[in-house]
């Protein structure tokens, strides 16, 4: 019978299906024990075919449920191992990141990786052994310096490349094994169908009839001509049995050859796989450095690590270079600032000392100048007084000379009086005139003297006032000149300070420009450093992804090894079953040899019977027509019956059923029970 593609959905329908299976598992309708097959026998055979199909589905369901249970157990075990291994790998990566150095001691080893939970599972012992092996492997690696990691990283990369190639080979072999398992399942289904057909009551009835008719055929003699009515059904049964046995023998021979060939191929494949699995298990438990170095993943990771290390060293070198330049410029700026400040301080101190010295000199010069100016003013005043006295002296001398001349003239007059009396009157007149003139002159002299005294007083006052003014003017001039000199010195100092300040400002601007350029360069370097940090993070994430991928691949490899072991166990079971089948086949071959001898004898008897009874061919033709009528569809009488209805068990051809389904005439033509497309099953009569 062909496989029906309709899947049994889990849920509330399963209970209905189980009820139907239980109902079919009960004894069916009664089967006729002798005579030709009736319509009830055909219905019984159809129902038995349905029962065989349901039995096939039941065996498949059991097999699938068992596989599902095994997969669930494997998944729980693998998930637990995966969690432990994931924590181990994360701890290993963290230890390698920090480059912590440990001494190889047992107390330290116990704390390197997370411990395994105590359980009764056999995988726990393997995990404990793996943990100890990893600890013994990690401890010396953690104690090694960082410089030796590059060579080992390249070796690990090569080994990872080799492991990836080996993994692809294992995947191909796993695929082949899955295909073989699928073929074995198909063969198992065929075997179950053959077993159900062998245990069928209808076929057993036919075989019993044939066995019962065999001794009758052997006891028959050439007197068959006289008992034609009794020999016809027996000969028909013998012919049908012979044909069935012949077909079954040929089928069994071909199946035996195919199974033997498949068994030999599978045994060879199993031996190869066992050797490969043993090698792989040894490599997985203790992978060598060459295997790790041959892996492409390890090579790519080592190349990426080398590139990242070179880039990181370049970035560190550039950053250290920029930091050194920045520190050198900063030190230069501070040195220049300190030197300029020191120069300014020294210049300010020297200028202040020079100014103080100049101020002391200026105060001393001022005091000397004031003294000299006082002396000059005194000398000038004394000079004016001496000139005035000299003029008064000269005037007195002139007046004295005038008085002497007048006295001389008076004496001459007195002498003249004495000499001449005549001139006394003239002398008296002249004397009176002179006295008058003398009085006038005295008055004039008094007036002039008063005027001169007043003028002299005014002149003395004005001279003293002028002297005071000149002294004040000289003081003011000295103050002005001093102020101008101080102004000139201050302007010169201001010019010097302005020039120094301009130079400092220019230097500050230059330093600010250099600082801006350095800050820009530093920002660019900082951006480059951030980008390289991001690249490092990306590469680290990629490395973690590759490590996780490697873990997944290792877990898949372990799962494949476990599945391979399970498949090996199943294959051993199948080998045992195939050995049993081989024994059955050998027994069947012995039976076929006996049956072939019986068939030869029956053929000889049949030839004699046909030669003696020509009417048997017509009866055989009638039987064939009756069998064709039983196997052909009752509706169209064209096609053979290849579909059956589960609701009633009646059989029809596919065309008639499809026509009824398409025209919505969904009732059985024999019993008018309703059916649907889900109630149709494919059968082979």
The CB-based long-range contact list for 620-624 (8 Å cut-off, 24+ gap) reads 620/236, 620/239, 623/236
Using CA atoms, how far residue 172 sits from 168, 179, 265, 564, in Å, is: 6, 11, 17, 13
Tokens of 424: 């006394």
Give the contacts of 181 (CB within 8 A, at least 6 positions apart): 567, 570
Contact 674, 640 (CB under 8 A): no
d(CA 190, CA 184): 10
d(CA 35, CA 213): 12
H-helix or E-strand spanning residue 644: strand 643-645
Place of tokens 């009528």: 629
Report pLDDT for 384: 63
d(CA 507, CA 515): 12
Q: Is 682 left (phi over 0), alpha (psi -120 to 50) or beta?
A: beta
Report pLDDT for 102: 45
* Backbone phi and psi for residue 667, each to the nearest 5 degrees, phi listed first: -135, 145
What residues does each domain of the chain span?
7-144, 301-539, 632-685
Sign, CA dihedral 330-336-342-344, equals negative
d(CA 223, CA 628): 32
SS3 at position 136: helix
User: How many CB atoms sit inside 10 A of residue 473's CB?
Assistant: 11
Cα dihedral value 655, 658, 659, 664, nearest 10 = 160
Please give the biggest Cα pair distance in the chain: 263
Using CA atoms, how far residue 146 sits from 102, 150, 541, in Å, is: 14, 8, 21
Report pLDDT for 616: 59
Starting at the edge strand found earlier in the chain, the sheet holding 680-682 runs 651-652, 643-645, 680-682
Report, as ranges of residue numbers, the positions in the chain whose pLDDT lies below 50: 1-28, 100-109, 120, 209, 214, 216-233
User: How many CB atoms sit inside 10 A of residue 611's CB?
Assistant: 10
Please tell me the class of the 632-685 domain.
alpha beta
Q: Is 9 left (phi over 0), alpha (psi -120 to 50) or beta?
A: beta
d(CA 348, CA 78): 86
Give the contacts of 643 (CB within 8 A, at least 6 positions apart): 651, 652, 653, 654, 657, 680, 681, 682, 683
Using CA atoms, how far residue 501 sits from 332, 352, 504, 508, 591, in Å, is: 19, 18, 5, 10, 127
d(CA 107, CA 127): 19
Angle at 451 between CA 450 and CA 457, to 5 degrees: 85
Report pLDDT for 22: 38
- Residues forming a β-bridge with 293: 159
Report pLDDT for 440: 76
The CB-based long-range contact list for 49-52 (8 Å cut-off, 24+ gap) reads 49/1, 49/644, 49/683, 49/685, 50/24, 50/644, 50/646, 50/649, 50/681, 50/683, 51/24, 51/25, 51/196, 52/1, 52/193, 52/196, 52/197, 52/200
């Amino acid at each position: 019978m062909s496989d029906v593609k309709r899947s049994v959905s889990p849920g509330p329908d399963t209970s209905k299906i189980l009820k139907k299976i239980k109902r079919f598992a009960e004894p069916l309708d009664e089967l006729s024990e002798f005579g030709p097959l009736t319509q009830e026998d055909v219905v019984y055979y159809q129902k038995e075919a349905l029962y065989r199909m349901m039995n096939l589905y039941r065996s498949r369901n059991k097999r699938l449920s068992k596989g599902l249970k095994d997969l669930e157990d494997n998944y729980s075990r693998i998930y637990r191992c995966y969690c432990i291994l994931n924590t181990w790998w994360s701890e290993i990566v963290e230890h390698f990141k920090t480059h912590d150095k440990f001494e190889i001691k047992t107390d330290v080893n116990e704390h390197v990786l997370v411990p395994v939970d105590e359980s009764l599972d056999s995988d726990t012992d393997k995990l404990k052994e793996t943990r100890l092996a990893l600890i013994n492997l990690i401890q010396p690696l953690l104690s090694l310096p960082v410089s030796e990691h590059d060579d080992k990283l390249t070796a690990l990369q090569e080994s990872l490349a080799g492991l990836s190639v080996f993994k692809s080979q294992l995947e191909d072999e796993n695929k082949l094994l899955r295909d073989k398992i699928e073929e074995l399942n198909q063969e198992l289904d065929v075997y179950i169908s053959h077993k159900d057909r062998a245990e069928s009551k209808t076929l057993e009835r036919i075989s019993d009839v044939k066995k019962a008719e065999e001794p009758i055929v052997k006891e028959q003699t050439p007197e068959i001509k006289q008992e034609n009515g009794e020999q016809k059904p027996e000969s028909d049964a013998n012919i049908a049995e012979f044909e069935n046995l012949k077909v079954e023998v040929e089928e069994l021979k071909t199946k035996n050859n195919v199974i033997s060939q498949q068994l030999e191929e599978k045994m060879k494949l199993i031996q190869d796989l066992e050797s490969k699995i043993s090698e792989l298990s040894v490599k997985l438990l203790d992978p060598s450095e060459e295997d790790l170095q041959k892996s492409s993943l390890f090579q790519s990771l080592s190349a990426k690590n080398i590139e990242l290390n070179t880039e990181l060293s370049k970035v560190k070198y550039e950053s250290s270079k920029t930091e050194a330049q920045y520190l050198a410029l900063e030190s230069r700026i501070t040195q220049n600032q300190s030197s300029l400040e020191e120069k300014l301080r020294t210049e300010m101190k020297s200028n202040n000392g020079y100014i103080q010295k100049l101020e002391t000199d200026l105060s001393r010069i001022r005091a000397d100048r004031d003294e000299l100016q006082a002396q000059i003013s005194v000398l000038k005043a004394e000079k004016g007084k001496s000139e005035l006295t000299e003029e008064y002296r000269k005037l007195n001398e002139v007046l004295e000379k005038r008085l002497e001349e007048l006295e001389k003239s008076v004496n001459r007059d007195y002498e003249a009086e004495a000499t001449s009396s005549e001139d006394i009157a003239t002398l008296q007149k002249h004397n009176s005139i002179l006295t008058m003139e003398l009085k006038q002159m005295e008055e004039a002299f008094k007036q002039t003297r008063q005027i001169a005294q007043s003028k002299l007083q005014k002149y003395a006052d004005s001279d003293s006032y002028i002297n005071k003014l000149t002294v004040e003017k000289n003081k003011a001039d000295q103050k002005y000149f001093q102020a101008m000199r101080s102004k000139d010195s201050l302007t010169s100092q201001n010019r010097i300070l302005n020039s120094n300040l301009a130079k400092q400002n220019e230097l500050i601007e230059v330093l600010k420009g250099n600082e801006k350029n350095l800050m820009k360069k530093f920002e660019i370097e900082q951006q480059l450093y951030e980008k390289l940090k991001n690249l490092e993070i990306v590469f680290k994430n990629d490395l973690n992804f590759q490590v996780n991928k490697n873990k997944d691949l290792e877990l898949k490899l372990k799962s494949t090894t476990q599945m391979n072991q399970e498949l090996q166990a199943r294959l051993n079971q199948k080998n045992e079953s195939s050995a049993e089948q081989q024994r059955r086949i050998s027994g069947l071959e012995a039976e076929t040899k006996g049956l072939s001898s019986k068939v030869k004898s029956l053929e000889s008897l049949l030839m004699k019977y046909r030669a003696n009874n020509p009417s048997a061919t017509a009866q055989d033709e009638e039987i064939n027509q009756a069998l064709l009528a039983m196997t052909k569809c009752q509706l169209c009488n064209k096609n053979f019956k290849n579909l059956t209805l589960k609701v009633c068990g009646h059989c029809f051809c596919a065309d008639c059923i499809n026509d009824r389904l398409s025209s919505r005439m969904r009732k059985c033509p024999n019993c008018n029970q309703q059916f649907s497309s889900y109630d149709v099953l494919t059968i082979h009569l």
